[in-house]
Amino acid sequence: VQADGTDGNCITFVLHDEDHTLGNSLRYMVMKNPDVEFCGYCITHPSESKINFRIQTRGGLPAVEPFRKGLNDLMGVCQHVLNTFEVRLLPEELRGLF
């Protein structure tokens, strides 16, 4: 991850080896924060596997904080989905292998 921006409230993060799968999910999680004024992403070119992810916050909140919280919240949701899948759909002998 690279960060570019002169103002701490508005930063563009460059996420390498990522696409819409992470970009749209992370945008959703970050936008749930009421202190975030704008959050969006774009893929620079179809042949490049990187996204530009921009966050702008209100007030004095640094943009890196909702970025970090969004990533942590997204990891929590993914872990919940995996746990639910293992409990409900996997046979007992296959649990814990994933």
CATH value at residue 52: 3.30.1360.10
**Do the domain assignments include residue 3?**
no
**Do the domain assignments include residue 19?**
yes
Q: Write out the residue range of the structural domain in which residue 22 sits.
A: 10-94
Tens-binned pLDDT, residue by residue, of the chain (98 aa): 656 666 789 999 999 999 999 999 999 999 999 999 999 999 989 898 899 999 999 988 999 999 999 999 999 999 999 988 878 776 766 666 65
**Do the domain assignments include residue 5?**
no
**Do the domain assignments include residue 4?**
no
**Do the domain assignments include residue 56?**
yes
Q: How far apart are CA 11 and CA 64, in angstroms?
A: 8
**Do the domain assignments include residue 51?**
yes
Burial tier of 51 (Cβ tally within 10 Å: 0-12, 13-18, 19+): buried
Q: C-alpha angle with apex 26: 24 to 28, nearest 5 degrees?
A: 70
Domain count across the chain: 1
Q: Is the pTM of this model over 0.85?
A: no
